[in-house]
Amino acid sequence: MNTVLEVRELSKTYVVNKRQNHVLRNVSFGVTEGEMVAVMGPSGSGKSTLLYTVSGMDSMTAGSVRFAGQSLPDLTESELAALRLDEMGFIFQQMYMLKNLTILDNVLLPAFQSQKRRESRKETVQRATGLLRKLGIMEIAENDINEVSGGQLQRACICRSMINSPKIIFADEPTGALNRASSDEVMEELSRLNGEGTTILLVTHDVKVAAKCTRVLFLVDGSIKGEYNLDRDKVLRERERALSNWLMEMGW
């Protein structure tokens, strides 16, 4: 399989009041096409910083990140912005959407901003409604964002992340603001998209979420302490139990 994301010796240091805070320390890993990788670790371990840095949303202090063969540190800010818009999808814990737009218009917005669009407006709208239908929320297409449930809104965010057919989706605690039922619905959709070939890198503190992935990276104090491969041939409950046992061994 092709390597979508390759991270080597990545470090990130913040300087606050002349004091250095080493948030990431020599992190190395890769994500291949079709994988669904979870990043876990204690609060403050650098999980979100890692996600933002490898996606080019934040700068790195040292190391290298290659995405689809391109070196992110070598790109200009405008090139990085275009890459994120066209080739990456993003899902966050806080479901950011524009309040003055309907659900459908929020999903469509990245497509109309993209420079790689080679289709008519009608075709783009058809693709967007197809995604909404696929995720079971077509009935809320014309609703305002304050007229839908949290689970529906997060599924709309998934549709938005998919509209430009990205090579990878980055998700930062995508179920963190949801109740268990809505969390299960969202993870079911992400698992289905992954099963269809979408590559996903997500941050989570939830063992039930991580157990649906193919691999887990355990981050402690900015370094990868361990890596665990999940056996998807086993039933979910067995995967959850095995992952929980491994995390306990890691000091979870």
Mean pLDDT calculated for residue range 39-56: 93
> Residue 168: pLDDT above 80?
yes
pLDDT band at 6, cuts 50/70/90?
very high
What domains does the chain contain, in order, with CATH numbers? Answer: 3-250 (3.40.50.300)
What local confidence, expressed as pLDDT, does residue 186 receive? 82
> Residue 95: pLDDT above 80?
no
pTM of structure: 0.92
Interval 68-92: pLDDT, tens? 889 999 999 999 999 999 999 999 8
If phi > 0 it is left, if psi is from -120 to 50 it is alpha, else beta; for residue 15 that is: beta
Do residues 190 and 171 lie in contact, with contact meaning Cβ atoms separated by under 8 Å? yes
Smallest CA-to-CA distance from 190 within 212, 214, 218, 167 is with 212
Residue bearing tokens 């218009």: 105
Higher pLDDT, 47 or 182: 47
Smallest CA-to-CA distance from 5 within 38, 39, 54, 40 is with 54
What local confidence, expressed as pLDDT, does residue 28 receive? 97
The two structure tokens encoding residue 136: 């079971």
Mean pLDDT calculated for residue range 169-188: 86
Integer CA distances (angstroms), 27 to 50, 117, 224, in order: 9, 35, 6
What local confidence, expressed as pLDDT, does residue 16 receive? 79
> Residue 117: pLDDT above 80?
no
Average predicted confidence (pLDDT) for the chain: 92
Residue bearing tokens 């491994």: 246
> Residue 21: pLDDT above 90?
no
Interval 123-151: pLDDT, tens? 999 999 999 998 899 999 999 999 999 88
